[in-house]
Amino acid sequence: MIAKLSVARGAGRVEIEAEAPEWATVLDALESADGTQGILYRHSCHHGSCGVCGALVNGAPRLLCRTRLSELPPGVVRLDPLPYATVIADIAVEPGPLFDSLPDFGYLRPPARPGSVPDQAPLPSDRPERERERFEDCIECGLCLAACPVLVPVERDGSDEAKRPIRPFVGPAALGMARREIAKGGPASREARAVAAAPDGVAACDRAFACSRACPRGVAPGRLIEELRRP
């Protein structure tokens, strides 16, 4: 089949075509296209575990490597950068807003971005290495933030206005992380309860559950937020 892709480039778009088999993903099509006109996109694992290939596919936040062409309606596939992320160029984004939202429970963190604090080293923690665990199952793709109607309240057209939250909200990934921390009952559970109880915590969620539908890993942050509402 011939896949036709329309990819955002700033205020304009780049149209490309790719020869792709039925089972191909959108990422496969991008990689096999001739003359991609230098389209910038991110990928690494190709199997839904690195979390860097998120984009809006026909307006919905998806992983490019987990979206088969055959599951999309016929016609041109429209690709746009994830909202609530920092656009590098075209559909390549850097999930800084997601990392900024995650509470510091002593987890290992990526190196600080230029201009952020503190320095390039992982955040200091007084907890032993064995207690530093990743937020289970979450691949930090940012799809839940892009899907959240509180964080991205208007039509997802990539404009600056579309990136402005309707109220301060720490976001589904951070609250899901807090719920897991409380469930573990570890040393950070008190801090996690404070994150959930803050004005920009559970109370700021509109219960749309768009985060759970968008999550490619079954983390179901919407359900975890509901669990945080219970006394």
Exactly one of 21, 37, 45, 167 binds ligand FES (CB under 6 A); that residue is 45
Residue 45 or 154: the one with the smaller Cβ distance to ligand FES is 45
Exactly one of 7, 20, 65, 177 binds ligand FES (CB under 6 A); that residue is 65
Secondary structure (DSSP) of the chain: -EEEEEEEETTEEEEEEEE--TT-BHHHHHHH-S--TT-----SSSSSSS---EEEETTEEEEGGG-BGGGSPSSPEEEEPPSSSEEEETTEEE-HHHHHHS--SS---PPPPTT-SS-SSPPP-SS-GGG----TT-----HHHHH-TTTS-S--SS-TGGGS-SS----HHHHHHHHHHHHHT-TTHHHHHHHHHSTTTGGG-----HHHHH-TT---HHHHHHHHH--
Does position 183 bind ligand FES by CB under 6 A? no
Structure tokens at 46: 């190709």
| Binding piece for ligand SF4, criterion CB under 6 A, among 68-76, 79-87, 191-199, 211-219 | 211-219
| Binding piece for ligand SF4, criterion CB under 6 A, among 66-74, 76-84, 108-116, 140-148 | 140-148
Interacting partner of 50 out of ligand FES, ligand SF4, none (Cβ under 5 to 8 A depending on kind): ligand FES
Exactly one of 219, 222, 225, 228 binds ligand SF4 (CB under 6 A); that residue is 219
Residue 112 backbone zone (phi > 0: left; psi -120 to 50: alpha; other: beta): beta
Count of residues binding ligand SF4 (CB under 6 A)? 14
Exactly one of 10, 19, 44, 190 binds ligand FES (CB under 6 A); that residue is 44
Does position 63 bind ligand FES by CB under 6 A? yes
Residue 49 or 116: the one with the smaller Cβ distance to ligand FES is 49
Does position 103 bind ligand SF4 by CB under 6 A? no
Count of residues binding ligand FES (CB under 6 A)? 12
Does position 83 bind ligand SF4 by CB under 6 A? no
Kindly tell me the sign of the dihedral angle through the C-alpha atoms of 216, 90, 148, 106: positive
- Tell me which residues touch ligand FES (CB under 6 A): 43-46, 48-53, 63, 65
- Tell me which residues touch ligand SF4 (CB under 6 A): 138-144, 173, 176, 214-215, 217, 219, 221
